[in-house]
Copies of this chain bind each other. A is one copy, B any other.
Amino acid sequence: MKETQDSLKHFCGIVGLHSRSPINIPHKLFYTLFSLQHRGQESAGITYRKEDKLVTYKDLGKVSDVLTRYLTKDIHSEIGIGHVRYSTFGGNKVENAQPITISCNKGEISLAHNGNISNASEIRKALTDNGAIFQSTSDSEIVLHLIAKSKEKDFLQALTTILNQLEGAFCFTIIFNDMLIAVRDPNGFRPLYIGEQDGITLTASETCAFDSIGITNYRQVEAGEMVIIDKSGQRSIRFSEDKKKHQCIFELIYFARPDSYIFNHSVYLARKKMGAMLAKADGKLGDIVMAVPESGNSAAIGYAQEANLPFEFGLTRNFYVGRSFILPTTEKREMAVRTKLNPVREIVKGKKVILIDDSLVRGTTSKILVKILREAGAAEIHLRLSAPELHFPCYYGIDIPTKEELISNSKSPDEIAKFIGADSVKFIPIDDLRQCIDDPDDFCYACFNGDHPYQHK
């Protein structure tokens, strides 16, 4: 149940493209952004370079709303970047859509940003004190100000200096002159991949974007790495000393597409392991395993295989809800859930159901689902979450409701079970979660344990 408010939201997805010879860049930007649509549905935009000028087109709406016009255009270009956004701070305004394109003393620059710069307000204040004006509420604007203010003559030198002033999460794709630049922050909060085939270089938040245009050869952009692509090829710069990595574990738990490869992990396999870990903790418990589609699917398969229980499509999703159609807010939440998900009564009836979802935010949707499953005759309902209990805010690009709204801040799992009407509720423990990944020390668990890598007031 991820399109309703009872969920976490991601901030953005980004792409960058460079071709040795002119191709229809906007066309390829469309397909790569379309494959990243799940990372942001509120605005979409692209910038491409045409006759030495940057052309930016962006608007509120999905990739298909905003960018379909490019599918029938024949535009030749060698370089472009793109962005999809879910807006939180500052709301749903076109001023916050990206890429942001500016002109300054260095020339024209366009930038797309995924993440959240955690010291943005300090930098913004310093810039403002010094006379800068801001037209959006997005962090990304500060980076462009810093570039314009820099006394360094060399653009890359200037950029390197600036990147070292930023804290928090940032992956950037940037166009400057004939260069495409891909940047990933030193802590590696957000994923970024890069690959080249037949003279076309793509950089994108997830590998499903590479699949979308048939590039099979890619690698992760490393934390603290900047890659510059131009006619002469690819160069890599380590712009930062080595830092501890804080890759976002929630990308693996929920945000990324299961067919993507991020942080050098298969998302699907990682989720299966989380499900299996939940199963191990449960021992022999229910009759069937079901997922809350689609977010619980992979973990549910992992659970079922580990527990040797049948996986069933026990909740049918009406695919006409939620994308093209959003219920008026006057409708009750329960009607919204019922319209989207309906149980298969013959499967559920009399069964002890293990229901797998990725995380529990406010618990309101789960409460309705449990009610619906009870009505369909479920004998027992055991909710299992492939994320640990959510307790803390994220300053690095995930929109988590306030502490007060997070159900795990006011209720224990048993109390939650009582509240939502389930027979039991269990979360994966952080330690178990760590066992599901190869390099557990390189990930950020701050929303679960409060160990934020930076200090925040």
Contacts and interface: CB of A to CB of B under 8 A. Distances in A.
Interface stretch (A310-318, A355-363, A399-407, A443-451): A310-318
A347 interface: yes
- 5 closest Cβ contacts across the A-B interface? A64-B325, A324-B324, A259-B316, A131-B149, A266-B346
A105 B134 contact: no
A303 interface: no
A52 interface: no
A65 to B, nearest CB: 8
Interface string A24-54: 0000000100110110000000000000000
A216 interface: yes
A201 interface: no
Contacts of A62: 320, 324-325
B297 A301 contact: no
A226 interface: no
A88 interface: no
Contacts of A311: 301, 311
A206 to B, nearest CB: 11
Best-surrounded residue of A259, A261, A268, A313 (most CB of chain B within 10 A):
A259
B105 A313 contact: no
A100 interface: yes
Q: This chain: how many copies in the complex? A: 4
A355 to B, nearest CB: 16
B71 A134 contact: no
B301 A305 contact: no
A425 B129 CA distance: 61
A101 B93 CA distance: 12
A109 to B, nearest CB: 8
Contact of A212 (B64, B102, B342): B342
Given A131-B105, A131-B149, A211-B342, A316 B100 contact: no
Given A128-B105, A268-B313, A71 B330 contact: yes
Given A103-B128, A266-B345, A323-B324, 6 more contacts: A102-B133, A211-B338, A212-B342, A268-B344, A298-B313, A305-B310
Contact of A342 (B68, B103, B208): B208
A237 interface: no
Contacts of A64: 320, 324-325
A168 to B, nearest CB: 21
10 contacts: A37-B318, A63-B320, A68-B325, A94-B94, A101-B135, A103-B133, A133-B145, A261-B346, A269-B347, A319-B323
